[in-house]
Amino acid sequence: MLLSILPQVLVDGLTLGFMYAVVALGYTMVYGILEFINFAHGEIFMVGAFVGTEVLLIADAMGSLKGMNPYIALVLMLVIGMLVTGALGVGIERIAYRPLRNAPRLVPLISAIGVSFLLQDLVRFTEAVARNEFYLNSPILFNNSINLGFASIPQKALIVIVIAIIMMVALTLFVNKTKWGIAMRAVAQDQTTASLMTINVDKVIMLTFLIGSSLGGATGVLFAQNYGTIDPYIGFILGLKAFTAAVLGGIGNLRGAMVGGIILGLLESLAGAYMGPLTGGAFGAEYKDVFAFSILILVLLFKPEGLFGEAVKEKV
Amino acid sequence: MALLELQNIHTYYGGIHALKGLSIEVEQGEVVTLIGSNGAGKSTTLKTICGQTRAREGKVFFNGTDITNMRTHEIAQLGIAHVPEGRRIFPKLTVRENLEMGAFSVTDKKQIEEGIERAFHYFPRLKERINQKGGTMSGGEQQMLAIARGLMMKPKILMLDEPSMGLAPILVEQIFEIITELNREGMTILLVEQNANQALTVASRGYVIQTGEIILQDKAENLLANPQVREAYLA
């Protein structure tokens, strides 16, 4: 019985893991450049989920969703979700972080936590005014499953994975092959020298927030499509876990965030399915979050630089 | 008017008065050197020119433009290449990527490729290392890369901050040969050095800086012969 559910558990874990991975990229990119944890990133993901879902609900209310190709609807949600969250991320950096760039480390961190609460309440308020409720049930575009005999893969899970892979490949190509991508890495390594090369550091930081936030927003859209129900607080736990994934992979490292996210998603799914039966019911699926954060603590204790990170050398 | 002109510059680090009314001129086509001991304000002078530290008083003109309050990347864009102290190459970028970053303001792809070829002409060693990460190279190779990277933007002036620091004598020799060659091809160079002997040999004029003030300025050969300079910096 335990083994027969394994394929399903793995599919669930991968779906979750790819979402963690893409959100983790946003944390790790910003950290790589500013050495700052953008704790509002989870809320950007949440805003993406709401924007995407609202696009769908509004299209539905106007009657234009019926007869629309679901793939076109999905692309529309993703594009609008990414544009809004990308702009939001850039705006937050400009208003809440840039003025604090030379302040002590803790100050922008507090600012980020403030932005988090602000976004949660702003979304809650807007939804409550517009719809009398602050959670949304999203129409699901893809309801079919692909039956493989030993497991059935929901189409929506497959879509999460495929789009996440496309975004990860695109980001990798951008960072390694394009002029602005290389400039981004240069700024991460040495801001002062990068500016001597005529690189506008502020512009590169803006670009980092634009890309990281729009990836986070797109993941929010996918999340809403995969799980159906969203509320203004979904960004908190998911954000923390994506951050855990980034630390697990080595914060500041793109490949680390991708691998860390997938590992965390798989482990969490396995823990959720098997912890109960294996401990005779003492620790059930409700402990899967404990499991995820225990991993964070263990990584911090034994390999603080993460799987792909480099041990920090003392600067002379 | 001189290509680069510093007028009565005062720069502070917190409470420390690092540059005290410094004035320097560099004419088109010259090699000018700024010599002085550790902590005299040589690097601060270059950092003030490129906007990394701000002058509290005084003005910096480049090509007739007041650049005193411009931002670093904008100043660089005018054609000022600063090869910083300690080379500061990007350790995790390859040699090629480092060079490409030097040409960040250049939009013409062909010009970038020509620039890379030119870099290989001056520094053939870099060609063998093209796909190697900058941080894995030796100090001499890193200095070559730093200079080559500075040349990629086709600057109007090249500012070198202690290019000989920490290098073996044979490499120092090579670096100074290249400085001479670049100047022969028309490059204006502002050279900051502790190695006063070498610097004055390649330069046409020199300034001697001490605790943030210019105490002497003259033709390089006169400075080389000056007993005061000989005693303090050439001993």
Closest CA in chain B for residue A198? B73
Token code pair at residue B3: 């290509």
Enumerate the residues of chain A whose CB falls inside 8 A of the CB of residue B73: 195-201
Best of A175, A177, A191, A193 to mutate (most B CBs within 10 Å, chain B): A193
ipTM over 0.90: yes
Closest CA in chain A for residue B150? A197
Which residue has better confidence, B234 or A74? Answer: A74
Residues 6+ apart with CB under 8 A from A13: A265, A266, A267, A268, A269, A270
Q: Round to whole Å and give the CA distance between B24 and B22.
A: 7
Query: Is residue A302 exposed (0-12), middle (13-18) or buried (19+ Cβ within 10 Å)?
Result: exposed
Closest CA in chain A for residue B102? A197
Nearest CB neighbour to B101, from listed A182, A192, A201: A182
Do B219 and B204 contact (CB within 8 A), yes or no? yes
Enumerate the residues of chain A whose CB falls inside 8 A of the CB of residue B50: 196
Residue A278: Cβ within 10 Å count: 12
CB contact under 8 A, A195 and B73: yes
pTM of the predicted protein model: 0.94
Nearest CB neighbour to B90, from listed A186, A195, A200: A186
Q: Round to whole Å and give the CA distance between B95 and B92.
A: 9
Four-residue CA torsion sign, A218, A221, A227, A230: positive
Nearest CB neighbour to A192, from listed B52, B101, B104: B52
Q: Round to whole Å and give the CA distance between A158 and A73.
A: 16
* β-bridge mates for residue B192, sequence order: B34, B161
The per-residue pLDDT for range A161-200, each reduced to its tens digit, is 999 999 999 999 999 999 999 999 999 999 999 999 999 9
The per-residue pLDDT for range A213-243, each reduced to its tens digit, is 999 999 999 999 999 999 999 999 999 999 9
State residue A282's pLDDT score.
83
Residues 6+ apart with CB under 8 A from A270: A9, A13
Q: CA-CA distances (angstroms) from residue B41 to A38, B198, B210?
A: 38, 19, 7
State residue A300's pLDDT score.
85
State residue A296's pLDDT score.
82
Radius of gyration, CA atoms only, chain A: 20
Residue A172: Cβ within 10 Å count: 15
* Chain A residues interacting with chain B (CB cutoff of 8 angstroms): 179, 182-183, 185-186, 189-190, 192-201
CB contact under 8 A, A201 and B91: no
Token code pair at residue A9: 């558990």
State residue A311's pLDDT score.
63
Enumerate the residues of chain B whose CB falls inside 8 A of the CB of residue A186: 90, 93, 97, 101
State residue A220's pLDDT score.
98
CB contact under 8 A, B73 and A183: no
Measure B232 CA to nearest chain A CA, in Å: 29
State residue A315's pLDDT score.
41
Enumerate the residues of chain B whose CB falls inside 8 A of the CB of residue A199: 73, 101, 104
Do B95 and B131 contact (CB within 8 A), yes or no? yes
Closest CA in chain A for residue B93? A186
CB contact under 8 A, B101 and A194: yes
Mean pLDDT is lowest, of A128-142, A270-284, B45-59, B176-190, for A270-284
Confidence of residue A316 (pLDDT cuts 50, 70, 90): very low
* B65: three-class secondary structure by DSSP: strand
Mean pLDDT by 10 residues, chain B (235 residues): 95 93 97 93 96 96 96 97 96 97 96 95 94 94 96 97 92 94 96 92 95 95 92 78
Length of chain B: 235
Enumerate the residues of chain A whose CB falls inside 8 A of the CB of residue B81: 196
Nearest CB neighbour to B76, from listed A186, A189, A196: A196
**Amino acid at site A259:** V
Where on the phi/psi map is residue B134: left (φ > 0), alpha (ψ -120 to 50), or beta?
Answer: alpha
State residue A136's pLDDT score.
94
Angle at B161 between CA B160 and CA B166, to 5 degrees: 115
Average pLDDT across chain A, whole number: 93
CB contact under 8 A, A198 and B105: yes
Confidence of residue A312 (pLDDT cuts 50, 70, 90): low
The per-residue pLDDT for range A290-309, each reduced to its tens digit, is 888 888 889 889 988 998 87
Token code pair at residue A25: 């990229």
Closest CA in chain A for residue B92? A189
State residue A210's pLDDT score.
98
